[in-house]
A and B are shown apart, each in its own frame.
Chain A
Amino acid sequence: MAIASSTPQSSASPAPARGQSVNARILRLAWRSPEMKVASALFFALCLLTLLGPFIIDASATKISVADKFLPPVFMEGGRLPYFLGTDQLGRDLLLRSLVGLRNAFLIGVVSVVLMFVLGCAIGIFSGYRGGWTDVILMRITDVQMSIPVIILAITILGMSRPNPFTIVAVLVLSGWPIYARVARSVTLAERQKEYVRAARIIGASDLRIMVRHIAPSILPPIAFVAVLDVARMMIFEAIFGFIGIGIQPPTPTFGTIISGGTQYLLNAWWITIVPGCLLALSLGSLNLIGGVLEKSRNLVLQGAA
Chain B
Amino acid sequence: MAFALEFFLRRISQGVLIVLAVAFVIFTLLRIAPGDPIRIILGPMATPSAMEETAERLGLRDPIPMQFLRYLGDIAKGDFGNSFIRGKQGGTTGGSQDAAGSPPVERAPVIELIAKALPYTLLLAACGFLLACLVSIPLGIMAGVKNSGWPQKVALYLSSLLVSLPNVWVGIVLIYLLSARTGWLPAIGYQHIGYVIIPAIVVAVELAPVMIRSISVAVATNVQDPFYEIGQVRGLSARTMLFRHVLRNAAVPLLNSFGAQMIGMLLGGLFVVEYIFSFPGIGLLTINAVFQRDFPVIQTVAIFASTVLVFINIAVDFASTTIDRRLKF
Contact = CB atoms under 8 A, between A and B. Distances in A.
A binds B: yes
Nearest to B270: A151
B168 A259 contact: yes
Interface in B154-193: 156, 160-161, 163-169, 172-173, 175-176, 180-181
Interface in A184-215: none
B224 A1 contact: yes
B164 A239 contact: no
A239 B169 contact: yes
Contacts of A236: 166-167
Nearest to A263: B172
Nearest to A285: B164
Nearest to B266: A149
A4 B230 CA distance: 11
Contacts of A239: 166, 168-169
A3 B226 contact: yes
B267 interface: yes
Interface string B310-325: 1000000000000000
A288 B162 CA distance: 10
Contact of A147 (B160, B180, B301, B306): B306
A159 B287 CA distance: 8
Contact of A149 (B176, B268, B290): B268
Interface string B19-31: 1011001100110
Contact of A151 (B161, B173, B224, B272): B272
Contacts of A4: 226
Given A144-B22, A285-B161, A149 B264 contact: yes
Interface string A115-152: 00000000000000000000000001001101111111
Contacts of B175: 266
B221 interface: yes
Interface stretch (A56-64, A65-73, A78-86, A270-278): A270-278
A157 B29 CA distance: 7
B251 interface: no
A232 interface: yes
Contacts of B98: none
A3 B271 contact: no
B22 A148 contact: yes
Interface residues of A, number: 47
Given A3-B224, A285-B160, A285-B161, A147 B18 contact: yes
A289 interface: yes
B104 to A, nearest CB: 23
A272 to B, nearest CB: 10
A288 B290 CA distance: 32
Nearest to A278: B169
A91 interface: no
A63 B18 CA distance: 50
A267 B161 CA distance: 26
Interface in B59-97: none
A90 interface: no
A232 B305 contact: no
Interface in B138-164: 147, 156, 160-161, 163-164
A284 interface: yes
Given A144-B22, A161-B34, A239-B168, A274 B176 contact: yes
Interface in B210-242: 221, 224-226, 228-229
Contact of B272 (A159, A240, A277): A240
B243 interface: no
Nearest to B35: A160
A287 B163 CA distance: 11
Interface string B255-299: 000001000100110011001100000010011001101000010
6 contacts: A152-B267, A152-B286, A155-B290, A157-B29, A236-B167, A243-B168
Interface of B: 14, 17-19, 21-22, 25-26, 29-30, 33-35, 147, 156, 160-161, 163-169, 172-173, 175-176, 180-181, 221, 224-226, 228-229, 260, 264, 267-268, 271-272, 275-276, 283, 286-287, 290-291, 293, 298, 301-302, 305-306, 309-310
Interface of A: 1, 3-4, 6, 9, 140, 143-144, 146-152, 155-157, 159-162, 232, 236, 239-240, 243-244, 255-256, 259-260, 263, 266-267, 270, 273-274, 277, 280-281, 284-285, 287-289, 292
